[in-house]
Amino acid sequence: MAVTVETLDKLERRITLSLPADALKTEVDARLKKLARTVKADGFRPGKVPMNVVAQRYGYSVQYEVVNDQVGEAFAKAAAEAQLRVAGMPRISEKEGSDADQLLFDATFEVYPEVKIGDLSAVELERVSSEVNDAAIDRTVEILRKQRRTFAQRPQEEAAVDGDRVTIDFEGKIDGVPFEGGKAEGYQFLLGEGQMLEAFEKAVRGMKAGESKTFPLKFPDDYHGKDVAGKEADFLVTLKKLEAQHLPEVNEAFIATLGLAEQTVEGLRADIKKNLEREVKFRAAARNKAAAMEALLKAAEFDVPKALVDAETERLLEGARADLKARGIKDADKAPIPAEMFTPQAERRVRLGLIVAELVNTNDLRAKPEQLQAHIEELAQSYEQPQQVVAWYMSDRQRMAEVEAVVIEGNVADFVLSKAKTSDKSVSFEELMGQQG
Q: What is the DSSP annotation of 294-354?
A: HHHHHHB-----HHHHHHHHHHHHHHHHHHHHHTT-TTGGG----GGGGHHHHHHHHHHHH
Q: For a pLDDT cut of 90, what percent of the chain falls above it?
A: 57
**Mean pLDDT confidence for 363-367:** 93
Q: Is pLDDT of 436 > 50? A: no
Supply angle C-alpha 251, 255, 257, rounded to 5: 130
Please identify, in words, the CATH class of the domain defined by 150-246.
alpha beta
pLDDT digits (tens, 9 = 90+) for 285-337: 999 999 999 999 999 989 999 999 999 999 999 888 888 888 877 777 777 88
Reduced to 3 states (helix: H, G, I; strand: E, B; else coil), residue 139 is helix
Element (H, E) at 386: helix 386-394
User: pLDDT-based confidence at 1, cuts 50/70/90?
Assistant: very low
* Cα–Cα distance for residue pair 202/24, rounded to 1 Å: 81
Query: pLDDT value at position 337?
Result: 81
CB 86 within 8 A of CB 66: no
* Cα–Cα distance for residue pair 31/34, rounded to 1 Å: 5
Query: pLDDT value at position 357?
Result: 93
Q: Kindly write down the DSSP assignment for every residue of 36-63, as one continuous string.
A: HTT--BTTB-TT---HHHHHHHHHHHHH
Query: pLDDT value at position 104?
Result: 87
Neighbours of 174 (CB within 10 A): 15
Residue 333, CA distances (Å) to 310, 313, 324, 326, 408 in order: 19, 16, 8, 11, 34
Who contacts 55 (Cβ-Cβ below 8 Å, separation ≥6)? 32
Query: pLDDT value at position 386?
Result: 87
Query: pLDDT value at position 437?
Result: 35
Q: Which of 81, 108, 78, 84 is nearest to 18 (CA)?
A: 78
Query: pLDDT value at position 12?
Result: 94
Q: What is the CATH T-level fold of the domain 261-432, as seen in this structure?
A: Trigger factor, domain 2 (1.10.3120)
Residue 400: DSSP 8-state: H
Average pLDDT value for the chain = 89
**Mean pLDDT confidence for 379-402:** 88
* Cα–Cα distance for residue pair 14/116, rounded to 1 Å: 24
Q: Is pLDDT of 158 > 90? A: yes
Query: pLDDT value at position 18?
Result: 86
CB 247 within 8 A of CB 151: no
Query: pLDDT value at position 385?
Result: 84
**Mean pLDDT confidence for 192-218:** 94
**Mean pLDDT confidence for 333-362:** 90
* Cα–Cα distance for residue pair 14/55, rounded to 1 Å: 34
pLDDT digits (tens, 9 = 90+) for 237-260: 999 999 999 999 988 888 888 877
Q: Is pLDDT of 219 > 70? A: yes
Q: Is pLDDT of 392 > 60? A: yes
* Cα–Cα distance for residue pair 348/300, rounded to 1 Å: 12
Residue 53, CA distances (Å) to 36, 66, 117 in order: 9, 19, 62
Report the range of poorest mean pLDDT among 5-14, 17-26, 224-233, 269-278.
Answer: 17-26
Residue 245, CA distances (Å) to 151, 241, 242, 251, 254 in order: 4, 13, 10, 18, 16
User: pLDDT-based confidence at 435, cuts 50/70/90?
Assistant: low
In the chain, what are the domain boundaries? 5-110, 150-246, 261-432
Query: pLDDT value at position 2?
Result: 59
Q: Is pLDDT of 171 > 90? A: yes
Domain 5-110 has CATH 3.30.70.1050: yes
Q: Is pLDDT of 85 > 50? A: yes
Query: pLDDT value at position 41?
Result: 76
Q: What is the CA radius of gyration of the chain?
A: 33
Q: For a pLDDT cut of 70, what percent of the chain falls above it?
A: 99
pLDDT digits (tens, 9 = 90+) for 101-126: 888 888 999 999 999 999 999 999 99
